[in-house]
Amino acid sequence: MNKLFYPKLAAINIKKNSKTYLPFIITCICTISMFYIMHEISINKGLDGVSGSESLKVILNLGSKVIGIFSAIFLFYTNSFLIKRRKKEIGLYNVLGLEKKHISKILFFEFLYTSIFSLLVGLIAGVILDKLMFLLLLKLLKFKVAFGFTISVPSIIITLLLFTGIFISTLLSNLVQIKVLNPIELLRGSEHGEKEPKTKWIMTVIGLIALGTGYGLALKIEAPLAALQMFFVAVILVMVGTYALFTAGSIAMLKTLRKNKNFYYKTSNFISVSGMMYRMKQNAIGLANICILSTCVLVMISTTVSLYVGMEDVLRTRFPRDIILTAAQATKEEAEKIDEILVRESKDNNIDTTGKFNYFNKYFAAINNDGKLDLINKDSLSSDVTLLQFVSIADYNRLEGENITLKDNEAVVYSNVKNFDKNNLTIENKIFNIKESFNKPIEALKINMNDVINTYVVFVNDINILEANGDGAYYVAFDVSGSDENIGILSNKLNEKFKENNLQVHVDSSAGSKESFYSLYGGLFFIGIFLGALFLMATVLIIYYKQISEGYDDKNRFEIMQKVGMSKIEIKKTIRSQVLMVFFLPLVTAVIHVGFAFPMITKLLAVLNLRNVSLFMVSTIITILVFAAIYGIVFSLTAKAYYKIVE
Amino acid sequence: MKLLEVNNLKKIYTTRFGGNQVQALSNVTFSVEEGEYVAIMGESGSGKTTLLNILASLDKPTSGEILLQGKNVVSIKESEIVAFRRENLGFVFQDFNLLDTFSLKDNIFLPLVLSRKSYDEMEKRLTPIATKLGIKDILNKFPYEVSGGQKQRAAVARALITNPQLILADEPTGALDSKATDHLLKLFSDINKEGQTILMVTHSTKAASHAGRVLFIKDGEVFHQLYKGSISNEEMFEKISNTLTVIATGGVVNE
């Protein structure tokens, strides 16, 4: 036989199967170039100058790992679809006299062509787009753009190794599949699985419980720190629930419908219920995948967009003033010295300070025992810990321009705890009568407050009223007039002077934090877009393949129904409604998931200091709309391919 | 009384490119009396399937008319043709055409569901038919779980359940083994004895020998016909095969 026989046959095969092969190759190219880009950027030296580049690189590195793992799973999935479609063809070769080792040879050459081609194109596209993506990232980070073109050899090598590995393992799994099957089975390959699905009640119940618990967790959790801990539990429960309900729950529901004779034996229900049952049987896993991926895309993009856009808000919450000085355990003398240095430095550097406020506090960690607060060791961080702050009423009067006088057992109390007792506050064995209470913190308190931890701020005559030794600090916060540069100049000077005078003062400035914020949230945003695009591509491809395989399966059914007395229009109508239902089920479910996740994610964002719920709401809605639009477009394009096959 | 009348039926296929014309039916005229059991025989390419498709209103003739109880099928509007077919004709196909996604029972119910009958009515109709066809115990099974013979009986039940005026059978024994074939042919004879009109297109001499009358089609025309009269199936079989030999060798019919 001619030596070129197998390579030629392999080439012809790819061409003939272009309808299924082309999307596969495109997926390979995209995942390869995405992986290369992400990996290259994560080790790019150009990022070293960005403040907070450490954490940024950790995020990017994580991102490239996620892409790697996901690519492997995804390419395996599409490959299994490809080989399933082609079993008949391979069986025919076998019947016509090609031995399995010859078929293996053909498959090997096909593998060689597709993998070399996609690696080559993928890497070239990666190298070209890499610079573009890097510039985009730097723009997101608000970092000065560095010029120059980089090709990273280590990234290329890692990409080559990873994807060659993936390709070889898919080839091996194909070869094993061919080996164990006999030609008759190969010929029938794609006609398997017409048996009626069984009802799996246990799975259904498990799914319902998992989904219900997941949703319940997402809705019920109040404390943001608890949300952080429970988030992954909820995610896993919802995922388990989704898979179980898509596979078992849908069948159980359809079978129950079928038992209802008066409902089932109606023209439209009759065809769709049984049709849906088989569609769900064949597609449940794929649809659950689409649903989970869509939820990921929606959550990822909406949160990262909100974080990025809401960054200024976050900064304002964290920094009600441009510069904040914190002197832990400062004495009165030290505090006076700090004030003195501040006044001198602002004068010497000719930088005006405005909106200044200062106060002492003393704070304790406590735990709530039936309305009574007991002090605990502050190192034990748990989600139900309560922060107790004492500030003198004199400071309060000064800051707020009030004139409240208190007895020693009286207090003015602010707390972010919902419905806290507004009459009495019991701490250890001391009972304070609350003279006045409020729900919103006064401005000066914002510098060391957050929504994340339950907090009581108690204004009393003497902040050392408790015998216990708590930590205390002296705070000074002020705005700096003039340009942002002044903030930097003044904070540097202050730092210098405090050191000279042996004062332990921490200088925080919004300008300094801004850069690290941008690098963190910009990095997250970048990853969000990137992974979002990847997952979206996966979703699109799964939909495409599903449509095609559905089309081949439906062709027969379509013909029989016509012979038995259904009009073309009727058939088209039922098929259309079934296809719509099947493909929009994941989208609708994903939106419901996002809806239930919303309260929980809001709380997680609060941990990251983003409290702008309406911003998050808007970005979620926009993300959903854009996603639904893309989904719809993809669906209608692939539906065309489907109708072409059926007709 | 004449149930079906076919007058001067002609069908010419035109190939899509160029004016190549193929004449499938040149001039077919015959009629079927109510309660008759007619078999149509012919070689491959003789026009049998074209004739059946036209009778089934799946295809339109180039010219000629088909009268079912005096009503011209050819002139029925496109929108009514599906309902007409469902209510007046029952079909039995060579490859059964059962839907894998339905149990046998649901397959049988399909035409009734399409005609929007109530469930009670369907059940009432099914019981006697299923008993007669001997598929009562397997009604809840699925097509892939039963034998070819059982599948074909379910298909017959589906054809009968609408109480059609005419059953059209296209090579009903083509995919069955000899035992199942015998069983099915006996069924057809029994159904026919109860008054059901059957028109069957077949290749098989054995199948045709059960019919009351056999029409032979050659080159798009009714070439010859045989009446069974009171002779046995075996004698009819011999007569049919003699006729087929004559047709195949091109001799003159001496009858």
Question: Over the stretch B104-131, which tens digit does the pLDDT of each residue have?
Answer: 999 999 888 888 888 888 999 999 999 9
A565 touches chain B (CB under 8 A): yes
Closest Cα in chain A, distance from residue B157 (Å): 13
Give me the pLDDT at residue A172, please: 92
Instruction: Please classify residue A516 by burial: count the beta carbons closer than 10 Å to its beta carbon, then call 0-12 exposed, 13-18 middle and 19+ buried.
Output: middle
3-class secondary structure, A408:
coil
pLDDT score, position B252: 54
What pLDDT does residue B255 have? 46
Of A132-136, A312-316, B215-219, the least confident: A312-316
Per-residue pLDDT tens for A29-38? 999 999 999 8
pLDDT surpassing 80 at residue B227: yes
- In chain B, the residue whose alpha carbon lies closest to the alpha carbon of A567 is B82
Residues of B in contact with A268 (CB under 8 A): none
How many angstroms separate the CA of residue B57 from the nearest CA in chain A? 10
- B99 interfaces chain A, CB cutoff of 8 Å: yes
Flag if A566 and B82 touch (Cβ within 8 Å): yes
Specify the pLDDT at position A193: 44
Question: What six digits make up the tokens of A22?
Answer: 């082309």
Q: If 0-12 CB within 10 Å is exposed, 13-18 middle and 19+ buried, where does residue A303 land?
A: buried
Which residues are paired to A369 by β-bridges?
Answer: A372
Q: How confident is residue A556, by pLDDT bands cut at 50, 70 and 90?
A: confident
- Compute chain B's Rg from CA coordinates: 19
Q: What is the mean pLDDT of chain A?
A: 83
What pLDDT does A189 receive?
A: 47
The terminus-to-terminus CA distance of chain A in angstroms comes to: 41
Would you give the DSSP letter of residue B75?
G
Please tell me the predicted confidence (pLDDT) of residue B158.
Answer: 92
- Work out the pLDDT band at A569, boundaries 50, 70, 90: confident
Give the C-alpha separation, A353 to A509, whole Å: 13
Judged by CB atoms closer than 8 Å, whether chains meet at B116 and A267 is answered as yes
The predicted pLDDT at position A192 comes to 45
Predicted pLDDT at A551? 78
Residues of A in contact with B76 (CB under 8 A): none
* B151–A contact, CB cutoff 8 A: no
Task: Tell me whether A561 touches chain B (CB under 8 Å).
Answer: yes
Minimal C-alpha gap between A227 and chain B (Å): 46
The CA-CA-CA angle for residues A623, A524, A322, to 5°, reads 105
For the cut 90, the answer to whether the pLDDT of residue A331 exceeds it is no
User: What are the DSSP calls for A114-180, one per residue?
Assistant: HHHHHHHHHHHHHHHHHHHHHHHHHHHTT-PPPP-----HHHHHHHHHHHHHHHHHHHHHHHHHHHH
Spatial distance between the Cα atoms of B158 and A245, rounded to a whole number of angstroms: 35
Region A528-537: what's the mean pLDDT? 84
Which of A276, A557, A560, A578 is the mutation pick for testing B, counting most B CBs within 10 A? A560
Structure tokens at A250: 């849908």
From chain A, the residues in CB contact with B158 under 8 A are 564
Q: Which pLDDT band holds residue A178 (cuts at 50, 70, 90)? A: confident
CB contact under 8 A, B144 and A195: yes
Token pair of A600 as six digits: 């929980």
Sequence-separated contacts (24+) of A346-354 with Cβ below 8 Å:
A346/A490, A348/A493, A349/A489, A349/A490, A349/A493, A351/A480, A351/A481, A351/A482, A351/A486, A351/A489, A351/A490, A352/A480, A352/A481, A352/A482, A353/A478, A353/A479, A353/A480, A353/A481, A353/A490, A354/A478, A354/A479, A354/A480, A354/A481
Distance of alpha carbon A157 from alpha carbon A448, whole angstroms: 48
Asked whether the predicted pLDDT for residue A344 surpasses 90, the reply is no
CB spacing of B114 vs A563 below 8 angstroms: no
In sequence order, the 6+-apart residues with CB closer than 8 A to the CB of B228 are: B209, B211, B212, B213, B214, B236
pLDDT tens digits, one per residue of A478-532: 888 877 778 878 888 888 888 888 888 888 887 777 777 777 788 888 888 888 8
pLDDT at A190 over 70: no
Q: Which residue's entry shows tokens 């390869």? A: A32
- CA gap A416, A413 in Å, rounded: 10
- Are the beta carbons of A32 and A38 closer than 8 angstroms? no
Determine what percent of chain A is predicted with pLDDT higher than 90: 15
Chain A neighbors of B98, CB-CB under 8 A = 560
Q: Between A and B, how many CB-CB pairs are < 8 A?
A: 63
Cβ-based neighbours of A84, under 8 Å, separated by 6 or more = A189, A190, A549
Give the single-character DSSP code of A198. Answer: P
Concatenated DSSP letters of A9-43:
HHHHHHHHTHHHHHHHHHHHHHHHHHHHHHHHHHT
pLDDT at A151 (0 to 100): 82
User: Does residue A277 belong to the interface with chain B, where contact is any CB pair within 8 Å?
Assistant: yes
Q: Identify the pLDDT of residue A212.
A: 94
Give the DSSP per-residue string, A435-504.
EEEESS--GGGGGG--SSSEEEEEEES-TT-SSS--EEEEEEEEEE-S-HHHHHHHHHHHHHHHHHTT--
Cβ–Cβ below 8 Å for A274 and B122: no
Tell me: the pLDDT tens digits for A603-625?
888 877 777 888 899 999 999 99
C-alpha separations of A353 from A319, A360, A464, A473, A494 in Å:
15, 20, 31, 21, 13
Among A14-18, A53-57, A321-325, B223-227, the range scoring the smallest mean pLDDT is: A53-57
The residues, any chain, with a CB within 8 Å of residue A99's CB and separated by 6 or more, are: none
Which parts of B15-79 are beta strand (E)? 21-33, 37-41, 63-68, 71-72
Q: Which chain A positions have a beta carbon within 8 Å of B156's beta carbon?
A: none
The pLDDT > 70 percentage for chain B reads 96
- pLDDT-based confidence at A362, cuts 50/70/90? confident
Query: pLDDT by residue (tens digit) across A383-413?
Result: 567 888 888 888 888 888 888 888 888 888 8
CA distance A340 to A505: 14
Chain B residue numbers with beta carbons less than 8 Å from the beta carbon of A261 are 119
Q: Name the DSSP class of A194.
A: -
How far apart are the CA of B86 and the nearest CA of chain A, in angstroms? Answer: 5
Select from A266, A275, A565 the Cβ nearest to the Cβ of B111.
Answer: A565
Tell me if B114 and A265 make a contact (CB, 8 A cut-off). no
Q: From A275, which residue of chain B is nearest by alpha-carbon distance?
A: B101
What's the mean pLDDT when you consider all of chain B?
Answer: 86
Would you call A565 and B114 a contact, using CB atoms and an 8 Å cutoff? yes
Q: Which of B101, B110, B119 sits opposite A564 (nearest CB)?
A: B110
Residue B168: both structure tokens together: 């059209």
Whether residue A568 has pLDDT greater than 80: no
Reply yes or no on whether the pLDDT at A263 is more than 80.
Answer: yes
Q: b/e string for A8-44 if b means 16 or more Cβ within 10 A?
A: ebbeebbeebeebbebbbebbbbbbbbbbbbbbbbeb
* Residue A302 vs residue A547, higher pLDDT: A302
CA dist A177 and A179 (Å) reads 5
Closest Cα of chain A to B35: distance in Å?
23
| Model confidence pLDDT, tens digit, residues A79-122 | 888 887 787 788 788 778 788 888 888 889 989 999 999 999 99
Residue labelled with tokens 């309808």: A19
The interface residues of chain B toward chain A in range 27-66, judged by CB-CB distance below 8 A, are: 58
Residue B18: the pLDDT is 60
Nearest CB neighbour to B109, from listed A194, A265, A278: A265
Closest listed residue to residue A72, CA positions, set A208, A169, A194: A169
Which residue, among A603, A589, A570, has the nearest Cα to A451 in the 3D structure? A603
**A287 pLDDT above the threshold of 80:** yes
Q: What pLDDT score does A340 carry? A: 86
The neighbouring-strand residues paired with A436 are A412
What pLDDT, on a 0 to 100 scale, did the predictor assign at position A171?
92
The per-residue pLDDT for range A216-249, each reduced to its tens digit, is 988 887 777 777 778 888 889 999 999 999 999 9
B111 touches chain A (CB under 8 A): yes
B75 and A537 Cβ atoms separated by less than 8 Å: no
A194 touches chain B (CB under 8 A): yes
Pairing of strands B37-41, B213-218: parallel
